[in-house]
Amino acid sequence: MKHRTFFWFFLPTALAMLIFIAAPIVSVVLQSLFVPHEAVLIETENCGPFGCTTSVVIDQEATEELRAEQPLGRFAGLEIYFDRGHLATAEVASAWTTSSSIGEFLGAVGDLPFYRAMSFTLTYTFVVTPLLIALGFVIALAVNALSRRIKGLVIFFSLLPMIVTPLIGSLILFWMIDSRGVIGELIQYLTGDPSLSLKASTPLMWIALIVYGVWHSAPFAFVVFYAGLQTVPQDTLESARIDGATRWQQTRYVVIPHLMPLVTFVALIQLMDNFRVFEPIVGFNASAHATSLSWIIFNDLGGETNQLSAAATTSVLTIIGVAILLSPVLVRTWRDFRGKA
């Protein structure tokens, strides 16, 4: 295809991505480096018959002028990155010097909003991903052994948790796990503790969110692995069987190696997707126990005061996190490309 033709074919989609993805990224980075202007204050002295009083008033004109002159705000450099709401370097340093043990230090750092969100986001990402891969793999094996007639029905129901809107799915689960819901009551009954409640317990809330994450994403792993199982080389299986391999050995040494590329694929996709965990925190009303980076951005943007600079800074930090998770994918794609060329 000629360059010219390619250009015209590709122009609309390129424009859409440039204006609404690339430009906002640049703008977010810029916003994170500036803070809004403070109002210009002037001191005026009012002198009357009983002496003079000074009062401080906002100089509207000068403020407007300053804002018009530098619409981005005051250049703050990396100041916002290191403030208490983000990397909080000063607080971390003081926690380091004042705390007597590592545990105390981690506790102090864990109270800072950014590190609190980070600890949940990372725990969620790295616990949910392996679990959903394992669950998806077992479901795929079990469904593969079913007779053709009921397969369709089983796949239909298996897809539901993934297709359904994350916020809606998490609400549906939350209402059941709630202390007044059916599963919540069952747990209270089983543990014999009628006061047990999701809303009051941080570990329970984390477990519930992780269960939701696995429930939501396992179908994706299942579908991918199920498709992979259809292409397992039957000859290899046959010869393994003739050599006397047990069912477990066949799975371990033939099926799993065959599916390994798919496992990597699912793992990489899910690591990126789980890192942006957000909707379940809103659905579970969990922000008192667990927050994520995405949730902090949403919270900063949605409040009464649009804290754009704070949100932009967290956005940049999130993008850096995603970039770190994405780098293996990029390296892989690059190698594939080199290999082909």
Provide the minimum distance between the beta carbon of 156 and other proteins in the complex, in angstroms, as a whole number: 6
Provide the minimum distance between the beta carbon of 254 and other proteins in the complex, in angstroms, as a whole number: 13
By the rule CB under 8 A, 53 interacts with other proteins: no
Residues 75-114 that bind other proteins (CB under 8 A): none
Question: Whose Cβ is closer to other proteins: residue 112's or residue 271's?
Answer: 271
Question: Are the CB atoms for 179 and 195 separated by under 8 Å?
Answer: no
Of residues 74, 84, 180, 335, which one binds other proteins by CB under 8 A? Answer: 180
By the rule CB under 8 A, 139 interacts with other proteins: yes
By the rule CB under 8 A, 267 interacts with other proteins: no
Q: How far apart are CA 83 and CA 95, in angstroms?
A: 15
By the rule CB under 8 A, 182 interacts with other proteins: yes
Residue 150's alpha-carbon distances to 137, 143, 155, 231, 280, in angstroms, are: 19, 9, 9, 21, 32
- Paired tokens of 58: 């906002």
**Distant-in-sequence, close-in-space partners of 185: CB < 8 Å, separation ≥ 6:** 179
- Paired tokens of 237: 């299986």
Q: What is the 3-state secondary structure (H, E, C) of 299-325?
A: HHHHCCCCCHHHHHHHHHHHHHHHHHH
Of residues 114, 115, 120, 298, which one binds other proteins by CB under 8 A? Answer: 298
By the rule CB under 8 A, 35 interacts with other proteins: no
For other proteins, which stretch binds (CB under 8 A), given 60-68, 92-100, 139-147, 200-208?
Answer: 139-147
Of residues 106, 185, 199, 240, which one binds other proteins by CB under 8 A? Answer: 185
Provide the minimum distance between the beta carbon of 257 and other proteins in the complex, in angstroms, as a whole number: 16
Q: What is the 3-state secondary structure (H, E, C) of 200-244?
A: HCHHHHHHHHHHHHHHHHHHHHHHHHHHHHCCCCHHHHHHHHHCC
**Distant-in-sequence, close-in-space partners of 118: CB < 8 Å, separation ≥ 6:** 293
Instruction: Identify the bridge partners of residue 35 per DSSP, sorted by sequence position.
Output: 74
Question: Whose Cβ is closer to other proteins: residue 95's or residue 284's?
Answer: 284
For other proteins, which stretch binds (CB under 8 A), given 50-58, 59-67, 87-95, 271-279?
Answer: 271-279
Of residues 40, 131, 176, 245, which one binds other proteins by CB under 8 A? Answer: 176
With CA atoms as reference, report the closest residue to 217 among 296, 273, 280, 151: 273
For other proteins, which stretch binds (CB under 8 A), given 54-62, 97-105, 106-114, 157-165?
Answer: 157-165
Of residues 125, 217, 291, 315, which one binds other proteins by CB under 8 A? Answer: 315
Of residues 40, 127, 215, 236, which one binds other proteins by CB under 8 A? Answer: 215
By the rule CB under 8 A, 66 interacts with other proteins: no
By the rule CB under 8 A, 127 interacts with other proteins: no
With CA atoms as reference, report the closest residue to 85 among 304, 324, 321, 297: 297
Provide the minimum distance between the beta carbon of 58 and other proteins in the complex, in angstroms, as a whole number: 22
By the rule CB under 8 A, 329 interacts with other proteins: yes
* CA 219 centroid distance within chain: 19
Of residues 133, 228, 281, 290, which one binds other proteins by CB under 8 A? Answer: 228
Of residues 68, 69, 156, 243, which one binds other proteins by CB under 8 A? Answer: 156
By the rule CB under 8 A, 137 interacts with other proteins: no
- Paired tokens of 65: 């002028």
Q: How far apart are CA 88 and CA 47, in angstroms?
A: 46
By the rule CB under 8 A, 149 interacts with other proteins: no
